[in-house]
């Protein structure tokens, strides 16, 4: 059995390596992402200059790609904290290597999602109005409060378990990185020495946060769903939206976590720590959620379809046979049925298979967000022709910039911060009996 010291040394090396070694491909990636973001900023400035008329949105469809991206990003933010917290609460013995990545996805996705609302407003200077003129009775204000609370809690929940690893970076990278980074680790490590007196309040804080963050995360996506559900619109006027949004968020969150894990595992050679077991276990969660999503969808469409009011009939025709049918059936077969089947069969239940399933789920969930947001607004409220919405180049550019921002944030994070929770992984392996205490070297002939 490998000793704790040897295992820890190897693990620390693997965690520190990304912060020290930078390939040319990394800089090319960063350059490409910055270029996409620059183009997105240009498009946004064009929008600020000319107004929302440069988008495909008009009075009849006033929420389009931006709001879809917002809902999608807020959804994948559940990757992290919620999954990480649930796995912690459930004492899942395999969680430690993936929790840090998951928690970071949450923070980045929340920032990206919230910025989309700023873009959608058209007049970013009016953000101030939310604070000055916000009404406590409005779901919009609830959303602002829920997202800002979730972002703060996620930052705390990301930071607390990272303190011992930041201390590791402080000690191991001293003199090997620039002054500002050394100072950053020193400040963020808050004098951590690993003493039991320091450890006790830290563990207690993590325990409190892992309980607290679950209702906060659930509330966030429920409140996001209420923005739609509390609007008297065909397609949105349903009570099941809270459940659908929360389940969809966890679903797309797991998928995003799988994709990011796969990329980081391959890039930084973390095969020893992020194993097939992690992918398969997350694959099982993904498969379970395909069934939950199917159930919620069936429940929603069957109840409204059974009554089939005039507007609902229009929506159903659009969704199942008309303008949105390609997106809908891709979502259903490509995003729910196929990923479930991939994970069901042992032959395809591999790392590659799970990653393919995750990519399908993420694309399908984006499509779902889009048709939820747009299709309901296409139902005419007065006798006029249904409006055809298609995002303009400005919207696509800002969307691309949002995705680039997400990837850039993660790329920078893995260079600056520890991507694995070293102390938690070591504890987990010790508890599992996979590594043991150090064996003292006995000099030859000592027993004689």
Residue among 58 and 129 whose Cβ is closer to other proteins:
58
Angle at the Cα of 316 from the Cα atoms of 314 and 318, rounded to 5 degrees? 70
Residues 37, 39, 41, 47, CA torsion sign: negative
User: What span, in angstroms and rounded, lies between the C-alpha atoms of 287 and 291?
Assistant: 7
H/E stretch holding 38 reads: helix 24-50
Residue among 155 and 403 whose Cβ is closer to other proteins:
155
Residue among 163 and 420 whose Cβ is closer to other proteins:
163
Residue among 93 and 215 whose Cβ is closer to other proteins:
215
- At how many degrees (to 10) do helices 241-267 and 276-307 cross? 160
**From the CB of 157, what's the least distance to other proteins, in Å?**
9
**From the CB of 214, what's the least distance to other proteins, in Å?**
12
**Is there a contact between 87 and 417 (Cβ–Cβ < 8 Å)?**
no
**From the CB of 194, what's the least distance to other proteins, in Å?**
10
- At how many degrees (to 10) do helices 196-229 and 351-378 cross? 40
Question: 3-state DSSP call for residue 430?
Answer: helix
Residue among 165 and 368 whose Cβ is closer to other proteins:
165
Residue among 211 and 308 whose Cβ is closer to other proteins:
211
H/E stretch holding 435 reads: strand 435-436
Residue among 18 and 229 whose Cβ is closer to other proteins:
229
**From the CB of 291, what's the least distance to other proteins, in Å?**
32
Residue among 205 and 281 whose Cβ is closer to other proteins:
205
**From the CB of 335, what's the least distance to other proteins, in Å?**
34
Return the bridge partners of 435, or none: 2
DSSP state of 386: P
**From the CB of 191, what's the least distance to other proteins, in Å?**
3
**From the CB of 198, what's the least distance to other proteins, in Å?**
5
Residue among 142 and 251 whose Cβ is closer to other proteins:
142
H/E stretch holding 372 reads: helix 351-378
Cα(first)–Cα(last) distance of the chain, in Å? 26
Tokens of 294: 């199917």
In terms of C-beta density within 10 A (0-12 exposed, 13-18 middle, 19 or more buried), how is residue 418 classed?
A: buried
**From the CB of 381, what's the least distance to other proteins, in Å?**
12
Which residues contact other proteins by CB under 8 A? 58-59, 136-137, 142, 145, 149, 152-153, 156, 159-160, 163, 190-193, 195, 197-198, 201-202, 204-205, 208-209, 212, 216
Backbone angles phi, psi at 431, to 5 degrees: -60, -35
CA distances from 396 to 70, 71, 193, 350 (A): 14, 16, 48, 34
In this structure, the dihedral spanned by the alpha carbons of residues 302, 305, 307 and 308, taken in order and rounded to 10 degrees, is 170
Q: CB neighbours of 183 closer than 8 A, spacing ≥ 6?
A: none
Residue among 59 and 125 whose Cβ is closer to other proteins:
59
**From the CB of 192, what's the least distance to other proteins, in Å?**
6
User: What span, in angstroms and rounded, lies between the C-alpha atoms of 295 and 299?
Assistant: 6
Backbone angles phi, psi at 109, to 5 degrees: -65, -35
**From the CB of 439, what's the least distance to other proteins, in Å?**
31
User: What span, in angstroms and rounded, lies between the C-alpha atoms of 19 and 15?
Assistant: 8
**From the CB of 443, what's the least distance to other proteins, in Å?**
34
Residue among 198 and 275 whose Cβ is closer to other proteins:
198
User: What span, in angstroms and rounded, lies between the C-alpha atoms of 233 and 58?
Assistant: 17
């Amino acid at each position: 059995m490998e000793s704790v010291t040897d295992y820890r040394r190897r693990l620390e090396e693997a965690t520190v390596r990304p912060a020290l070694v930078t390939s040319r491909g990394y800089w090319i990636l960063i350059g490409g992402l910055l270029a996409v973001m620059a183009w997105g900023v240009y498009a946004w400035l064009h929008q600020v200059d000319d107004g929302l008329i440069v988008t495909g949105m008009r009075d009849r469809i006033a929420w389009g790609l931006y709001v879809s991206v917002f809902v999608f990003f807020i959804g994948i933010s559940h990757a992290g904290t919620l999954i990480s917290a649930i796995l912690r609460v459930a004492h899942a013995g395999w969680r430690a290597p993936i929790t840090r990545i998951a928690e970071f996805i949450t923070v980045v996705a929340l920032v990206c999602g919230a910025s989309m609302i700023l873009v959608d407003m058209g007049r970013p200077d009016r953000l101030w109005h939310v604070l000055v003129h916000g009404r406590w009775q409005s779901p919009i204000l609830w959303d602002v409060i829920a997202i800002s609370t979730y972002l703060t809690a996620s930052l705390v929940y990301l930071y607390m378990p990272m303190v011992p690893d930041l201390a590791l970076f402080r000690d191991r990278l001293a003199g090997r990185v620039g002054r500002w980074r050394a100072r950053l680790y020193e400040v963020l490590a808050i004098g951590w020495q690993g003493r039991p007196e320091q450890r006790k309040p830290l563990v207690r804080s993590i325990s409190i946060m892992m309980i607290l963050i679950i209702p906060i995360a659930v509330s966030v996506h429920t409140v996001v769903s209420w923005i739609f559900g509390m609007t008297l619109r065909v397609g949105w006027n349903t009570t099941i939206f809270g459940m659908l949004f929360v389940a969809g968020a966890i679903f797309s969150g797991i998928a995003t976590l799988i994709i990011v894990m796969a990329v980081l595992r391959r890039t930084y050679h973390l095969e020893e720590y992020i194993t097939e077991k992690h992918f398969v276990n997350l694959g099982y969660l993904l498969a379970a959620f395909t069934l939950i999503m199917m159930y919620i969808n069936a429940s929603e469409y069957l109840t409204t379809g059974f009554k089939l009011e005039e507007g609902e009939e229009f929506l159903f025709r659009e969704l199942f046979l008309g303008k949105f049918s390609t997106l809908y059936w891709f979502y259903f077969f490509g995003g729910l049925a196929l990923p479930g089947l991939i994970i069901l069969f042992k032959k395809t239940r591999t790392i590659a298979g799970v990653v393919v399933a995750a990519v399908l789920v993420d694309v399908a969930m984006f499509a779902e967000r889009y048709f939820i947001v747009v299709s309901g607004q296409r139902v005419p409220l007065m006798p006029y022709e249904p409006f055809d919405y298609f995002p303009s180049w400005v919207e696509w550019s800002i969307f691309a910039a949002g995705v680039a921002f997400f990837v850039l944030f993660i790329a920078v994070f893995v260079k600056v911060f520890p991507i694995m929770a070293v102390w938690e992984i070591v504890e987990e392996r010790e508890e599992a009996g996979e590594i043991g205490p150090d064996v003292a070297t006995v000099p030859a002939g000592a027993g004689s």
